[in-house]
Chain A
Amino acid sequence: MANKRIDHETQTETVGHEWDGIEELNTPLPRWWLWTFYATIVFAVGYCVVYPAIPMLNRGTEGYVGWTSRGQLDADLKAQQGERAATVAAIDATPIEKLADNPPLMRAAVAGGAAAFKVNCVQCHGAGAAGSAGFPNLNDDDWLWGGDIATIHATLVHGIRQHGDTATRASAMPAFGKDALLTPAQIEDVASYVLSLSGKETASPASQRGAQVFTDNCAVCHGPAGKGQRQFGAPNLTDAIWLYGGNREDVVAQITAPKMGVMPAWGERLDPATVKMLAAYVHSLGGGEAPPTGGTTPAEPLAPAK
C-alpha cells in the first residue's frame, strides 16, 4: 500500500502495486456489475435446487420440479402422438384402395410408412429399400406377388411363407438337383434356356434341349414363356432383375437347391394403420402399380399366364 500515489498523466490513483516499474491504475468497476455477479450466484443456487444438477455416488440430485430429459422426450412423444392421432385414425378408417383418393392422407401415410420402414424393414430390405441378393428391391417395377397397393398391403399383413397364417404367400420351388428330379446335365441345359430368355446367353443346342425340360418342369409356375406367375410368387425369368443373381452358377444353384425368401406377417406385429402406411410407402417408391382393372380381388394375380 505504500506505493499508492496519483498517476501524473491521468490524474488517477494507482492501486499501489508495482511490477518492474509497471503500475496499475485504479479504475473501479461499477458496483452494479458486482450485483449482476451476485445475481448469477443466486440463479445458480436456484437452478441447482430446481433442476437436476449435482452428481452424487449413484445418481445426480433430482431437482425440485423433477424434470428429466427422458421425461421431456416422453412428453414430446406423447404430444406428437396426440397431434397425429386424428391422421392415424383417418388412415385406419380408410380402406387401403381408397387411400390414393385423399392425397393429403396419402402423403401422411407415405411419411409415416417411411418412418416405420426404418424401424421394421431396413434390416432385410436396406435403408433405401434397395434390397440385396435374396432380399427384393422395392424400388423397381418387378413384383413377385404383385405391386398394386392392396396386394402389397396383403403381402405385408400375412407375410411370406409364414406358418400359422392361412393367407400367407406360400409356394415352394422343388429342389430339382438336390432331390434328383433332374440330372446335372438337364439342369445345365435348362439354365442355358433360362439365360437365353433374357438375352444373357444366345440360343444354343443346350438351350434348345433345355426348352423341353423347362416346359415339362418349370412352366407350370413360371409360365410357358417364363414370364412368371404372381399367384405363386414365381419370378419373371425374362427380365433384367435376378433376386438370387443372374450368372450361370447362380441360376444353376437356384435350380439345384432353391432359396426361398420369407417375410414376417406384419399384421400380427404392427397395428393396422402402421401396416397401411408401410404399404403406401413401399408403393410410393417408384415401382408401385395401378390397381388391377375389372374388379379382380387384390390377392389374385394380375395376368394369369396359362
Chain B
Amino acid sequence: MTIHNKIPSEGRPSALYAKREPVFNRRIDGKFRRLKWAIMAVCLIVYWGTPWLRWNRGPHAPDQAVLIDLAHRRFYMFGIEIWPQEFYFVAGLLIMAGVGLFLVTSAVGRAWCGYACPQTVWTDLFQHVDRLIDGDRNARFRLYKAPWGPAKIARRLLKWTIYLAISFVTGGAWIFYFADAPTLQQAFWTGTAAPVAYATTFVLTMTTFVLGGFMREQVCIYMCPWPRIQTAMLDEKSLIVTYKDWRGEPRGSVKKKGRDPLAFGDCIDCDQCVAVCPTGIDIREGPQIGCITCGLCIDACDRVMKDIGRPRGLIDYATLEDSEREKAGVPATRHLKLIWHPRTIVYLAVWSALGLGMLFLLGTRVHTGLNVAKDRNPPFIVLSDGSIRNAYTLRLRNMQDRPRTLEVSILGLPGARMWSEDVGRENAAPSLRRPVAADETQAMRAYVVMPAGTATRPFSFRLRALDDPRESATAKATFDTPGDEP
C-alpha cells in the first residue's frame, strides 16, 4: 500500500462537515433484484392490505382481522384477542422479533437491511420514481448538475408530488391499524375523524417524504442503530456481500488484460458495482456500515463477468471464513449450507421455543380474570352485632365474546358470607353470581363478613364461569380483624 503524501486540505482548516453525495443508482436486473422486487411487493401488500382484512368475531367484537384498539384497550389479531392484562403476549412477540433479527443476522447477515426494512423498501420505491421521472443514472446526474430552469423545476415538482402522494398513502395507511378501516376512511375524508388521525397521517407523511425522498442512505449510515448492532453481531461465519479481492486484484481494464493477462485480476474496474449501489458505496473497500447487503452489486458484477467470459461471483454472498477457504483453492460452499452453523441453530432453537411457549400459553389461557383490591382505609369494620366486615373491590373480566354469568366465591374462609351493591346484606351468601357483558370488565364491591372473634387471615376469591367449568381464576386477599394472627 502506498503512502499518500498529498494532503487534500493542506493549508485549509479541516472540513468538519461533509455534504451528502447524492446517489444515482443505475437500473440493474438480476437474481437479487428480482428477489428484492418480490419482497418489496409482499411488504407493501401486507402493509397496505392488512387493515382491510375482515374476521368475523360475532356481534360483540370488531370484525377487523388486525386491530390495535387503543380506546378500548384490546389488541385483535385474527383469532387472537389480547387484553392489557395479557400484554406479555405482545412483549413475547417483540422478544421473538428481536431474537428473530438475531437469527436472520446470524443466518443471512443484514438481509433485513437489504430487503425488508421499511427504510429500504420505501427508498427503493422512491428511487424507482426518480428513474421514472428523470431517467437512469446518467440522466439523473446531468439533471442534478443542470442549472435551475423551468424544465428542471417542472420535473422536480412532478417528482416531489409523486413522493408526497406515496408518502401520504403510506402515512395514511398506518391509522387504519388503530380503528375500523372502512369507517375511519369515510370519517377521514369527511373531516370527522379524530384529530390524532390527521396528526398521525401528517407526521408519517412528512417522515416518509423526508426519509424516503431525501435522507435515504443517510438514515442507514447515521441514524439507525441496527447497523451498529450488526457490527457487533457479524462474525467470520456470517453471510455478507464480499468482494473477492484475491480474485479481482490488481484491477485492470480489458485492454490492459489483453496485453498482459497474468498481471491483472478479474476486476476490470468498470465501477458497475458502485453505479448500481443504492447507498452509493464501493463494496470493493470491504465490509462497511453503508452496505445493506441487498446484492444488487452481485447482479451487476455477474453480468460483467459473463460479458468478459469469467466465472460469476467476483462479488458474492459469502462468509469471511469461506472466502479464505476459496482463496486457498477449495470450491465455494453452497449458500444454503453456510446458513447452518451453531449460532444459527441456537438462535433458531430459542426463537422456536419462545414461539411454541407462546402458542401453548395462548391455547391454554382462560378467558376469565379476577383482580382484588382490598379497602385499606378502614381495614375492617365492626358491625353492631360484633361481627367483622372487610370490603373489597373485585374486577371480574369476561374475555369471551359472549355475555357470561360469573360466580365469585370465597375459598379458605369458612363461615364467611358476602354481599354486594346489588345483593343486600339480608341475602349474603358464600358465593355471588354476576352477569358480565361480552368482552367486558365489571367492578363489584364485595363486603365479606365473619363472626366476632375471627383472627386476621389470608384467603382467596375464586371466579368461575358457569358455562365452562375449566374457566376459573383465583386471587389472593387478606381478611383483617382487630385480632392478631393466630
A complexed with B: yes
Of residues 202 through 241 on chain A, the ones whose CB sits less than 8 Å from some CB of chain B are 236, 239-241
The size bracket of the interface on A is 35 or more
B231 interface contact, C-beta 8 A: no
How many interface contacts (CB-CB < 8 Å) are there between A and B?
94
B375 interface contact, C-beta 8 A: yes
B45 interface contact, C-beta 8 A: no
The B contact surface, by secondary structure, is: loop
The size bracket of the interface on B is 35 or more
A18 interface contact, C-beta 8 A: no
- On whether the beta carbons of B17 and A286 are closer than 8 Å, the reply is no
Q: Give bound CA distance, A8 to B2, whole Å.
A: 8
- On whether the beta carbons of B378 and A139 are closer than 8 Å, the reply is yes
Q: Give bound CA distance, A240 to B382, whole Å.
A: 8
Within the complex, what minimum Cβ distance (angstroms) separates B385 from chain A? 6
Name A239's closest neighbour in chain B (CB-CB): B384
- On whether the beta carbons of A8 and B222 are closer than 8 Å, the reply is no
Known A4-B9, A127-B377; judge A29-B17 contact (CB<8 A): yes
The A contact surface, by secondary structure, is: loop
CB-CB under 8 A from A127, the residues of chain B are 377
Which of A26, A32, A236 makes the CB contact (< 8 A) with B20?
Answer: A32
- On whether the beta carbons of A13 and B8 are closer than 8 Å, the reply is yes
Q: Give bound CA distance, A129 to B391, whole Å.
A: 13
Which of A29, A30, A137 makes the CB contact (< 8 A) with B381?
Answer: A137
A31 interface contact, C-beta 8 A: yes
- On whether the beta carbons of A236 and B18 are closer than 8 Å, the reply is no
CB-CB under 8 A from A139, the residues of chain B are 378, 381, 389, 391
Known A8-B1, A11-B4, A128-B377; judge A30-B382 contact (CB<8 A): no
- On whether the beta carbons of A141 and B7 are closer than 8 Å, the reply is no
Q: Give bound CA distance, A141 to B18, whole Å.
A: 80
Within the complex, what minimum Cβ distance (angstroms) separates B153 from chain A? 22
CB-CB under 8 A from B375, the residues of chain A are 128
- On whether the beta carbons of A128 and B421 are closer than 8 Å, the reply is no
Known A33-B17, A239-B384, A240-B382; judge A5-B377 contact (CB<8 A): no
- On whether the beta carbons of A240 and B385 are closer than 8 Å, the reply is yes
Within the complex, what minimum Cβ distance (angstroms) separates B424 from chain A? 7
Within the complex, what minimum Cβ distance (angstroms) separates A99 from chain B? 13
Q: Give bound CA distance, A6 to B1, whole Å.
A: 13
- On whether the beta carbons of B7 and A4 are closer than 8 Å, the reply is yes
Known A6-B3, A8-B1; judge A241-B382 contact (CB<8 A): yes
Interface 1/0 per residue, A1-23 and B, CB below 8 Å:
10011101001010110000000
- On whether the beta carbons of B424 and A290 are closer than 8 Å, the reply is yes
- On whether the beta carbons of B447 and A240 are closer than 8 Å, the reply is no
- On whether the beta carbons of B20 and A31 are closer than 8 Å, the reply is yes
Within the complex, what minimum Cβ distance (angstroms) separates A290 from chain B? 7
A55 interface contact, C-beta 8 A: no
Interface residue ranges, B against A (CB under 8 Å): 1, 3-5, 7-11, 13-20, 215, 218, 222, 375-378, 381-386, 389, 391, 421, 424-425, 445, 447, 452
Q: A4-B10, A13-B7, A128-B378 are in contact. List 12 more A-B contacts (CB 8 A).
A: A4-B7, A4-B14, A8-B1, A31-B17, A126-B378, A137-B378, A141-B384, A141-B425, A236-B384, A286-B389, A286-B391, A290-B424
Q: Which 9 A-B pairs have the closest CB atoms?
A: A128-B377, A130-B378, A239-B384, A240-B386, A28-B18, A31-B17, A142-B384, A6-B4, A139-B381
30 sampled A-B residue pairs with Cβ under 8 A: A4-B10, A6-B4, A6-B7, A11-B4, A13-B8, A13-B9, A28-B17, A28-B18, A29-B18, A30-B18, A30-B20, A30-B218, A31-B20, A32-B215, A126-B377, A126-B378, A128-B378, A139-B378, A139-B391, A140-B383, A141-B383, A141-B425, A239-B385, A240-B385, A240-B386, A241-B383, A286-B381, A286-B391, A286-B447, A287-B383
